[in-house]
Structure formats: structure tokens, C-alpha cells
Structure 1
Amino acid sequence: MITGSTNIVALIGHPVEHSFSPPMHNAAFQKLDMDWAYVAFDVNPNNLKSAVEGAKALNIKGFNVTIPHKIDVMEFLDEIDEVADLIGAVNTIDFKSMKGYNTDGIGAVKAIEEVTPIKNRNVVVAGAGGASRAISFYIAKYGAESLTILNRNVEKAQNLAGDVMDSGLIGEVKSDSISKIGDYVDEADILVDTTPIGMHPHVNDAAIVEAGQMHEDLVVFDAVYNPNETVLIKEALKAGAKPVYGIKMLLYQGAESFEIWTGKKAPVDEMERALRQTLDL
């Protein structure tokens, strides 16, 4: 029950009505018997500054930030986490210090590291948008041997590869056209798909890589979580490769935000249960 002493955290975006974050976080607060509540606010881009100032005035404890505010919100913060600054976007704000973080990348690497360490691995990332950017910097930070970024627009892949290389976090970053993905998967330890291919309702899209191009030691992570078993994950299972599901990234980025706001260890099992229930898995 919400009372006068309840601590509020929220998601801001435009739109937000389809977010899975409120059930996940509220299940965590309930599990730990915390007087906190998570809500979602649809914030028009024209009102972003007043939303941040208003939240501060109302003693809101933290925000998650989603499209289209992840970049623009940075100008209203006092401090940006080092890797979030490299990424150039934040998805979590801690109002105690008005500091911005990006937990998308950490969510992805924690999901992958349930299956395999990233350190000293050769990683191929498909896509060069915002999700790829967040994940690529964290893959570099976690000690990958090499990173190859593939995209339809090769110039975008080249630019992202250059930015990751310039960070000094990794020794080798390559870029190429996504049409050549088969050539790179053969030598890869980990394949990360950040493209929207296979996302509901386009569940019958052709996978970016087919089973015949994969090897059994390959770890295949798809950032898409709806459906849970994407066309790419189906191909990975056919090949006997090791799948990593998008729901895990959603889970771990949420857990990281929870810990930033509360200082408590997130009840990950309870958060995953709530997510699976919401996604009807």
C-alpha cells in the first residue's frame, strides 16, 4: 500500500504503457518488504527538463529512462558514470547525486556471463544502434579479446568501432557489412544480435545467421525478448549452440538499477518470476 512515507521510482519515456519494468520492480520491493513503488510516466520530449526538475522537487528517488530521452536527459544531470559517458546515453538516474548510469550494457554482459566469460573471447555484434553501442562498450570493459561490429550501414559500424577502440578498453575492434556475418561467426566465441529482426509481431523474419553457419561452442545472445524464443535463438538451438535469452538482459539491467537506487542486493529470482509472468512465459 502506498503511504505518505513511500519512496517512488519511475520510468520516463514516450510511450511507456507497454513497459515490463513496473511489475518487475514492484515484485522486488514486495519481496524485500520495502516501502517503495515503481510507476511509469509518459513524458513528452518538450517536457523533459520540467519532468526532471519536478521529480527532484517531489523527492522521487530515481528514474529509468527509455526512448526517446536517453541522450537528451544527460544535460540535466550533475554527473555521468564513466561508461555511460562513453556510450553517450543513460537509462538510470539516481536522484541522490543526480548521477546518470547506463545499465543496458551491464545487463547484457551479466546475461552472457551466466553461460560463458567474456574475457579473452572473440565477440561479434550485429547492429550499430543504441543497444549495440551500450553492449559494445561493456563487452570491451569486460575484457573481450576482439570485437567485430556488423551493420547494414557500414559507416555506422565503422564509427561505433572507432569510438570503442578510442576508449582504450580493448585492443582490437573491427567493422564490416552484416551481409558478411557468416564469415565472422565461424571464428566467433560469442554472437550478440542487437537488431530488431524477429521482434514481435515479425516473428517469421529470416534469422541473421542460420544453424548451418553456427558451431556448437558458439554462445548466441539475442537482445529481443518478445518473443522469448526468437528466430535466431531457434537456429542456435538447432545448431547445438548455447542460447542466451533477451529476457535476461531486461532482468539484469533492472536489477542493476534497483541496486543503484536502493543500495540493496536485488532479489533477481523474484524479479525474473514477475517478468516471466508478465510476458506469459
Structure 2
Amino acid sequence: MIDESRDSPSLTPTKGDVAQQRTVYLFGQPIAHSVSPYFHNTIFQKVGLPWRYIRLDSKDPEDLAWLMRRNDFMGAAVTMPNKVQALSLVDSITTEAQKIGCINTIYVRPELSGKGKQLYIGTNTDWIGIQRALLNADPEIRTHLQDHPALVIGGGATCRSAIYALTEGLGAKAVYLINRDPEEAKSSIMGLKQAGLQQEIHYVETVDTAQAIASPIVVVSAVPDIAPTTDLEHTARNITTTMIQTKPDHTSPRLFLEMCYDPTPMTYMANLAQDLGWKVIDGLDVMEHQAIEQAVLWTEKPLQSLPSELANSAIRQALHR
């Protein structure tokens, strides 16, 4: 909701004022490993903007709120664990972000009254990145998801973005969810349902249930590549393994999207899926697609005018190093 009484800087740049020095922040913790600065700084350099994209390693929203008061603030990319907390920093959120329940991008626009105030707007481009990565891997995925379910592994903000991408973005009628924490899984489902999501979302709690349900045609894995240690983690791993090992009753391509790409996108589960015949997509594809949408919002330049291929090459080189 827009707060008209909020004090906002009058010198925040608008279209036509973008040639001045501006700053975009990556707000999250830990973020030392992030390769997104290589992407966005390449974009800014190649389109001739004297901007910088820098890390703000913090999980305290007040740290970003303080920087948002600066005249050179142009926006922020919000990553874990701040995607929900950052909702308190913005004046309004887009429809997609409202339904997903979190933001990963903040950008500024002039308030329509013409009084010189600026509005801070929150949105979510993660779901766009997931949708486009899957469409690139299988242009017919919407048709396939009409007849076969999808599976999301994980919880929290990325989980909700993945479910939104699969349902609202790609038309999946049913999505299964695997999570080591039953309460987090149920909370994610409840939040999406309360925001108006109509499609079926089922939390898979046991291996027996996994054995009894239809094999998914798409899997989005949004968990770290860490070996399980607790009973709940072992259960979640066993459920996941059971579901991706189930032989399909169709010949359509099966896609395994591994969101984790550091230190390598070929995680334990990605390797297992590949051995079982799944087509593996790495999380850098998602990052590239969602990041270019962020660049469009910050620079207010059309997508086709941005050097996305150069930026993509920069982050892959950084990751390889």
C-alpha cells in the first residue's frame, strides 16, 4: 500500500536523468559468493551509465532503508533472507509480488501527483527467471503441464516464486511440494492460497505418498547442496529420490531445474536426475533471466537494447574463476 506521507528524496533520478552517478545495492546475507555484480555492472558499463552495483551484506532492513534515503539510490536487488522483510521498505508492490508474498527487486518511479516525490516499488522477477528458463528448455512445456504435475523442493521465498511460475506462469494444474520443515511448507501453501492461487498444491510428507502419486514432468530444486543430517532432512531426500526415480508413463521431456549454482550447478540431486534421463537446467539460466528484468526496471531501457549476452558471459566467467 502506498504511504503518501512518507518522506522520499526529490532528487532520485527519473527517465532522462539516468546519466548521473547512481547506486544499486544487492541486499542479503551471505552474498560474498554472488556473481550478480558482474552481470549488472557489465550492463551499466556497456550502455554508458556511470552507475555501480554493490553488495550490502546485511539482514537488517534498516541498513537498506538508510541507503534508500540517499540521492544516488536507484534500486536494490533483494536476496535471502530479506525477501519478506523488505516488504516493509517499499510504498507499493506489484500484483505478482503480492501473490508470491515477497520481493526481490526495488525500483523508483515519480509519484503521479507531480509534487516531486518518489515512490519505492517492490516486485518479484524470480518467477520470470524460472518461467523463461523452463520455456527455453522446452517450448511445449505449457502443453505438457496440462496433463502432468510439477514438483518443487524447498521452502520460503524461492519456493513460492517457483510455484507461482509453474502455475500462473506456465499453467500447471497441480504442484507437489517437498520440504524438510512441514510447518514452513504448509505456511507457503497457505500464503499462496490466501493470495488467490487456485491450482492444486500438495505437500508430500512420506515416501509412501511419493510412491503413490503421479510422476512429475518438471522439478524445481531450491535447496542447498548439503548432505542430510537430521531425520527430517533424510526423509525429504528419500521422498525426492523416490519421485525423480519413478518411471514416467509418457515420452515428454522431463526437466530438472537446479536453482543452486554455487560452487557448481551439478549438485548431488542434479547429477542423479541427469543419470535418470532428466534434462538438467542450471540456476544461472534463472539468474540471468530475472536479472535482465531487473535491469529493464532500473535503467528504463527496452529489453532488446540491453547487452544481456555480454552480461551473461561475465557472470559465467566469474563463476568459473
TM-score band, normalised by the shorter chain? 0.7 to 0.9
Partner of 1:7: 22
**Counterpart residue identity of residue 319, structure 2:** L
Structure 2 counterpart of 1:54: 67
The answer on 1:229 being equivalent to 2:266 is: yes
- Residues 1:119 and 2:151 aligned together: no
The equivalent of 1:33 in structure 2 is 48
How far apart, in 1, do the equivalents of 2:67 and 2:73 lie?
9
Q: Secondary structure at the match of 1:177?
A: coil
* 1:106 and 2:132 aligned: no
State the shift of 1:129 in Å: 2.4
Residue deviations 1:198-239, cap 9 Å, x none?
Answer: 59xxxxx97942774355631111111121212222222222
Whole-angstrom distance in 2 between the partners of 1:67 and 1:171: 26
CA distance in 1, matches of 2:105, 2:57: 16
Tell me if 1:87 matches 2:103.
no
List per-residue Cα deviations over 1:94-133 (Å, max 9, x = no partner). 0223000122222212111111255351211112222112
> CA separation in 2, counterparts of 1:184 and 1:244?
27
| 2:251 is aligned with 1:219 | no
Change (3 A) 1:274 1:42: same
| 1:178 to 1:32, Cα distance in 2 relative to 1, 3 A | farther
Fraction of identical pairs, as percent: 25
Unaligned runs of 5+ in 1: 200-204
1:138 maps onto 2:165 in alignment = yes
Give the direction of change, closer, same or farther, for the CA distance of 1:252–1:156 in structure 2 (3 Å limit).
same
Matched residue, 1:202: none
Aligned counterparts of 2:280 and 2:212: Cα–Cα separation in 1: 18
Distance 1:181 1:119, change over 3 A: farther
- Distance (Å, rounded) in 2 between the aligned partners of 1:231 and 1:267: 33
Larger radius of gyration: 2
TM-score normalised to structure 1 length = 0.84
SS of aligned partner of 2:37: helix
Q: Which residue of the partner structure matches residue 274 of structure 1?
A: 314
2:80 maps to what in 1? 67
Q: Is the 8 A contact 1:10 1:62 kept in 2?
A: yes
In structure 2, C-alpha distance between the alignment counterparts of 1:220 and 1:242, rounded to whole Å:
6
Contact 2:59/2:82, CA 8 A, preserved across alignment? no
Q: Which amino acid aligns with 1:79?
A: S
Preserved CA contact (<8 Å) 2:176 2:203: yes
2:310 partner amino acid: E
Q: Distance in 2 between matches of 1:167 and 1:196?
A: 27
How many equivalent residue pairs? 271
